[in-house]
Amino acid sequence: MQARRVVKVGLYASILALIALPLATLPAQASEGVEASYHGQMGFGTGNGMLEKWCALPNFSYLQEDGITGWNKRKCNDCHIGVPFGNEVWEPTEEERKAVCGKCHTSEAPTDLDHEVTVAGCMNCHYKDVAKRGDDFDILNNNDVHIAAGFLCQDCHLKWDDGDSDHQFLKGTAIDTTEPTMMGTLSCTTACHFGDEQQQAHDAQPHSMKTNKGGVLNEHTDKVACETCHTGLRPNAALASRQWNVFTSDGKPLTTKRAAGWLPEHKWYDNTGPGASGDNHLPILTYTERRDAAGAKIYPFNTVTVDWFVRKKDSAYDDIIIVPEVKAADTDNDRTVTVDEMRVFYKQATLKTADMNFSINHSVVPAVDAFRCNDCHGRGGWVLNWEQLGYPGDPRQKSKDKKPKK
């Protein structure tokens, strides 16, 4: 009940929820444009799907590793399910409909695809967010204030039609999005948390002015994202690094994880998509590169350091040497492939290292558990690294120094 009290849902969100078509009312046969949705993930040659977006974590090259055959062999299609390739209009068989639609529209009756989408249904695929972000969506654990209050994912991620698909959903401005645009987005303050008065929707002040610090906290929201204070320490373990030149005895890349309770990295971000990563839409971001961009705020991330081989010194990030070839270069069989070993096969082979940043937006803690002023400011401040963020020191201390003495 405490979680219910701290979740403040604005009138605007309530109206949207009433007018949005619930998934349960949509017949499966009327799923027009599923193949054009970002959940359809077909996308090859369209820019809308996963097939042409190389990612450092699986390090799989669609073009070099047998196309859709390799995609399915790697079980990428367990989540990135796709639809038949090359079809402008999807007319699925019953079997295809069960396989594709049933990923989201879960039910005890496999043919009941009109069944309401549940949190568990979303987690059929989004369980991987636990590894990338340390999230916890288990309704029994109370590690997300919205889930604890009985919210479903689609209560915030409302269904919408972008003209190409009636199966799009409002999404957060995650830096690791696979979409080339940021259409159909939501945020804490645009969806629900306006403040004391509804008219503040256009000038959101989410903290009540009835409290002593409400005004100061609302000033913070100009430069500090809600998630920075309200996601806290991460409730689950998450990825910390992955090396695609070092392999374990079972052939997997050497991977390290952060233990539950880890503190995110904080960086400036302006909600416009991936970082300075060329044309491959990779979530590579330094601490301050977006600091002067319009709308930039300090956001929390899980920063995962990844190593992998590319063919030449000046190769693009996705000009990778595929994993089977990397393993074949391990001539001394020590399960570690050096640059020298790799250059026997590719004379200019280079080992790339980059930090992939994964946005943290969920597992929101109640207000009473959010970070407090002294967690960031003062001698005992430990959450934000002010120097990394481009400050000469604690900005609150600096403002105090400027105050005239009485």
pLDDT tens across 104-121, in order? 876 544 444 456 788 888
pLDDT digits (tens, 9 = 90+) for 237-267: 999 999 999 999 999 999 999 999 999 999 9
pLDDT digits (tens, 9 = 90+) for 8-21: 333 333 323 322 32
The verdict on residue 313 lying in a domain is yes
For residue 141, what pLDDT band results from cuts at 50, 70 and 90?
confident
Count of domains for the chain: 1
In a domain, 208, yes or no: no
Q: Over pLDDT 70: what percentage of the chain? A: 74
pLDDT over threshold 90, residue 400? no
Q: Is residue 95 part of a domain?
A: yes
Instruction: Give φ, ψ of 29 to 5 degrees.
Output: -70, -15
Place of tokens 């999807």: 90
Q: Would you say residue 206 lies in a domain? A: no
Phi-psi region of 142 (alpha: psi -120 to 50; beta: other; left: phi over 0): left
Residue 210: inside a domain, yes or no?
A: no
Band (275; pLDDT cuts 50, 70, 90): low
The answer to whether the pTM exceeds 0.75 is: yes
Of the listed ranges 8-12, 41-45, 347-351, the least confidently predicted one is: 8-12
Residue 104 backbone dihedrals phi, psi, to 5 degrees: -105, -45
Residue 406 lies in a domain: no
pLDDT of amino acid 217? 73
| 199 is a domain residue | no
Question: How many other C-beta atoms lie within 10 A of the C-beta of residue 211?
Answer: 11
Q: What is the pLDDT of residue 208?
A: 66
Chain segment 280-305, per-residue pLDDT in tens: 568 899 999 999 998 899 999 999 99
Domain limits at 89?
2-193+217-391
Q: Is residue 209 part of a domain?
A: no
Q: Reply yes or no on whether the pLDDT at 272 is more than 70.
A: yes
